Every structure is written in structure tokens, then in C-alpha cells.
Amino acid sequence: MKISCRRDQLQYAVQTVQKAVASKTPLPILTGIYINASNGRLELQATDYEIGISCIIDATVDEPGTTVLSGRYFQEMVRKLPGEIVEISSSKEDRTIKITSNNAQFNLLSFPAEEFPVLKPINSENVLKIQDTILKELIKKTIFACANDEARPIFTGGLLEVDNENISMVATNTHRLALKREHLPSTGVNIKMIIPAKILHELARILASDEQREVGLSWQKNQVGISFDNVYINSRLIEGQFPDYNKVIPETYSTKIKINTEQFLDAVERVSLLAREGEYNVVKFSFTKDTVVISSNNPDIGKAFETVPAENSGNDVEIAFNAKYVIDILKNIMSGELIFSLNTSLSPANIKPADDENYIYIITPVRTS
């Protein structure tokens, strides 16, 4: 192998595949980054068998070849290389890979490339193309509601649901549920799949740049492939039946309250300072006609209260929630005003942006004595 490429492009490729490099694994080869050079292109790959990522960049290929280098060292090295151009070549004498840039030279030991489980892109007729902005929005507005607890795997992923012209993502840990819908041009596609939250986080990270692009999704059995630009991501899907979340969403609410999002968030964060240590991080909300009084009480530390103006078109209600579940949605609402919809102090409530009917967040109250 003998190639040269731009350092910034190589760094972009290494960063893109980096999160699929396994850190704790009995298989050393999975701690490596696979590098394949041919036909004017350099492909990097990494996989931990849960997620696999490939990224292709331009390169001047004098001699094609394949190798696997330590993901950790290759990444740190590329980040620190001094020049604009990086040359990579293999030496037959000592099985090392020589990497040079300006006056710096690294001779890294390589793994045997034939041991690397090269990604097999999904070859399927099940294909959906969507704008990355739509996909990022679906992920960002829901995925924080997933469970971290591996004991119930189904809740550690986001349910992606496509029904011809509608796409939605749903995430829940059974105490709160986030649902975001978007409209699509007619797709003819009808599919439900549960994608692990970890992969959705990575996808949102890799898609973070501002340039707009189309993302291709393809699926078969328990796998999904995601492709855009020069990147391909392969992920397992979570198997099992996602519960019927529509049953959890109340059909009507007896009380709807409009509140300034920022004021409310600041106040809940302040009041919750004293609640965090408690078992359920409980903050109380007392809604009256014009205000909501937010309060917490921790017998070991003290009490906190704060009053925020609110427009209540229904009944007075007292209700308590896990403060974290309320703060999470307030940070994601991205709208100046929110609607807090309630029935009784023991039934699920809904918090949504005042100006978006396609974002729903259901939260179960905490029973207080």
C-alpha cells in the first residue's frame, strides 16, 4: 500500500468511524480501524458488531492495499500530524505501516487485515430517502426519553415508524414518552423499526454539520443501513414488539395552561436543586388561574418555591413530577411558549410547544403523600 491524502479529510474519516471502534472486547481486531486503498479512494471502517461505520475519502493511490491500525493511536496521531498531506505506506520488512507528514514519521504495527469483519452493506429493495434535517429533528426531540436500563431492551431504542406520507419517532422509558411526527412526500413505504439509542446518538452527531443532504435508509431482517455523502452506517435493530403508545396518550384534557418556556425552565431548575437528592427528584406544581407555584421540600436541606405567570383555561390542579422528566422536555421544546395539559393529579399530563401539534410529550405524575 502506498497512498497520500489530505490530513483534514483523513481526520474527518477517522472521527466519523471512531465511535464504532470497540473499546472493551475480547477480539483485538475490533479495536482497529480498517483501511482500504484502491482506485483513487481510501475507505476507513470500524465495527463493534453492534454498529459498523464506513467513510470514504479521496486519495492518490500509488499502490492499492489493505491494513488495520489501532483505532486509538491512529486517531490521536492523525489529529496531531503537522502537515496538510499525509502519506501512508506499508513496509514488507517489518509488517509496520509508515505514516509521514512533514517531518513527522510514525511506524505503526498493524493487525492482520484478513481478520477484520468487513461491513456487508444491505442489498435490499426496502429503501427510504429523507432529508437529514427531518431525521435529525426526529432523533433530537425524542431520543432523550429512552430507558438506559438494558433489562428492558425494547425501551433502549427509538421506534421509527413510516406510513407512506408520515414519519414519526417515539421513545419511552415507561414513565415518560416523547413522540415527534413529520410529513413526507408520498413514499409508498410502510415500516416500523426500533433503532438503538446509541446508534441514533451517533447518527445525529455525524449529521451535525449544517450542509443539507439526503439520507438513505434500507433494511432487511434485523438490520438497518444508513447512507449519506461518503458515509455508510450499519446497525442491528432491536427485536420485539413496541407497545401501542397511542393508548398512553390521553384523548382530552380538562385543563390547559400556557406558560413562557424559558421562565418555566429556569424556575423548575432552581426549585429542583433541593429535590435532586430525593429518591424520585420530586417537584410539585400548583396551577391556579394566573400562576403556577413550583415547590420542592427536602427534609435534610430545606424548601424552595417559585411563582411563574401562567394562563390557565381550566381547573386548579396540584400535581408532582420527577423534575428531570420536566426539565428534559423544556430544554427540547425550542418554542417561546408551551402548553401544559392535565386532567387530574394522578393522570398523565402532556407538555408540548404552543406552536407545534406534531410534538407530544407524555409524563406520568408522582404520587405524593
Binding-site ranges for a copy of itself (CB under 8 A): 70, 73, 76-77, 80-82, 96, 103-109, 266-267, 269-271, 273-274, 300-308
**Which is closer to a copy of itself, CB of 107 or CB of 164?**
107
C-alpha to C-alpha distance for 124 and 265, rounded to whole angstroms? 45
**Which is closer to a copy of itself, CB of 76 or CB of 84?**
76
CB 86 within 8 A of CB 7: yes
C-alpha to C-alpha distance for 61 and 88, rounded to whole angstroms? 10
Helices (H), the chain: 7-18, 71-80, 132-142, 197-206, 261-272, 323-332
Least distance CB 229 / a copy of itself (angstroms): 29
- Grid coordinates given for 47: 465495527
Residues facing 260 on adjacent strands:
337
Least distance CB 269 / a copy of itself (angstroms): 6
**Which is closer to a copy of itself, CB of 102 or CB of 126?**
102
Q: Which of 314, 322, 253 is nearest to 285 (CA)?
A: 322
Least distance CB 298 / a copy of itself (angstroms): 9
**Which is closer to a copy of itself, CB of 95 or CB of 120?**
95
Least distance CB 109 / a copy of itself (angstroms): 5
C-alpha to C-alpha distance for 154 and 158, rounded to whole angstroms? 9
Least distance CB 104 / a copy of itself (angstroms): 4
Q: Which of 65, 26, 29 is nearest to 47 (CA)?
A: 29
Least distance CB 250 / a copy of itself (angstroms): 30
CB 145 within 8 A of CB 176: yes
Least distance CB 303 / a copy of itself (angstroms): 4
Q: Which of 296, 333, 121 is nearest to 218 (CA)?
A: 121
60 burial level (CB within 10 Å; 0-12, 13-18, 19+): middle
**Which is closer to a copy of itself, CB of 269 or CB of 328?**
269
3-class secondary structure, 119: coil
**Which is closer to a copy of itself, CB of 22 or CB of 292?**
292
**Which is closer to a copy of itself, CB of 267 or CB of 342?**
267
3-class secondary structure, 109: strand
The values of phi and psi at residue 117, to 5°, are: -80, 90
